[in-house]
Amino acid sequence: MPFPTPTIRVRLTGLLEFLFTRDTAVPPNITSCRIGIHDEDHRKEHQMRVNVYRGPGREKSKLILELVRQVEDGFSLTVTAPDPMAPGIIICPKSSGPFSNPGTNELGFDRIPDIEGGDFHNVALPHKFTKFVHFNNGVFYTRVVKPGWILRESDGKTTFQGMMGIEAGINIYLQDPAVATDSKAVLTYLNGWKELKRTTDVVYEIEILNDCPLHAAGLPGMFESDFKLYYDKLETPPPVQERFSVVFRDGATGGDISTDHPCGPIFGGKSS
Q: What is the pLDDT of residues 39-97, one digit of tens each?
A: 766 556 677 888 999 986 656 678 888 887 655 656 778 899 887 888 889 888 765 55
**What is the CB neighbour count within 10 angstroms for residue 90?**
23
3-state secondary structure of 191: coil
E-strand stretches of 23-94: 30-37, 48-55, 62-69, 76-80, 89-91
53 CA to centre of own chain:
18
DSSP-derived letter for residue 96 is S
CB 14 within 8 A of CB 262: no
Q: Cis ω on the peptide bond leading into residue 239 (within 30° of 0)?
A: yes
The pLDDT of residue 67 is 82
pTM of the predicted model as reported, rounded to 2 decimal places: 0.87
Distance CA 184, CA 202 (A): 12
The pLDDT of residue 70 is 53
Residue ranges of the chain whose pLDDT lies below 70:
1-4, 26-28, 40-45, 56-60, 69-74, 94-105, 213-224, 240, 249-262, 272
CB 263 within 8 A of CB 225: yes
